[in-house]
Amino acid sequence: MAIPIIGPVLEMLITGLHCLFGYISNNNVFPLPLSEAEESELLIRLEAGDEEARNTLIERNLRLVAHIVKKFDSTGEDVDDLISIGTIGLIKGIGTFNRNRNTRLATYAARCIENEILMHLRSIKKNRNDLMLYDPIGSDKEGNEITLLDILDTGSEIVAEEVETIMIPEIKTDKTAKIS
């Protein structure tokens, strides 16, 4: 009975070791960067509207995104999120790059990637100190979550209604001020 089980288990073990060895020996997670000639040729094709050239430029510059994200390691943001946001910056950079300005794509794209990440960090910083009435702010002795509304609660919906009557006119005036 044990003999038929050994074959698949041994096969899975060999496959797992093969994958592990391949991962350890191949530390190039991202494709290698383009040479100047390859980049120039792809940029010419991109100007002609070649979507495949655009995709190749994006894929081959992902290493640049990962390199720039390392600068923002101490921000406390998830590295995968920053790589995604940096990739958006790379795509915008490739879309707006002008090869007639005598700069390399990597130089231009690096600024676009960095700007996109910085814009994201600034938008998070704006909302970081906001406190909502229904957000948990702690727990009681029994382990139940306590919200700010629980502390301010008077037994009826007076607090929530009062906050809404005060805040809604302010929000409306802020929106009309931004529109004008």
pLDDT in tens, 88-114: 999 999 999 998 888 889 999 999 999
Task: Give the three-state DSSP class for 139.
Answer: strand
**Contacts (Cβ under 8 Å, ≥6 apart) of 66:** 30, 83, 86
Mean pLDDT of 160-170: 70
How far is the C-alpha of 75 from the C-alpha of 82, rounded, in Å? 10
**Mean pLDDT highest for which of 11-25, 53-67, 117-131, 141-155?**
53-67
Is residue 140 scored above 50 in pLDDT? yes
Residue 108: name the closest of 57, 48, 50 by CA. Answer: 57
> Between the CA of residue 167 and those of 55, 131, 135, 155, what are the distances in Å?
47, 14, 17, 21
- What's the pLDDT at 23? 47
Give me the residues paired with residue 138 across strands: 146
pLDDT tens sequence across 19-75: 445 544 455 577 888 888 999 999 999 999 999 999 999 999 999 999 999 999 888
The pLDDT assigned to 174 comes to: 60
pLDDT band at 136 (very low <50, low <70, confident <90, very high): confident
What would you measure as the largest C-alpha separation in the chain, in angstroms? 80
For the domain spanning 30-127, the CATH number is 1.10.1740.10
Angle between helix 51-60 and helix 36-47 axes, rounded to 10 deg: 140
Angle formed at CA 155 by CA 153 and CA 156, multiple of 5 degrees: 95
Query: Domain ranges in the chain?
Result: 30-127, 136-179
Q: Has residue 166 got a pLDDT over 80?
A: no
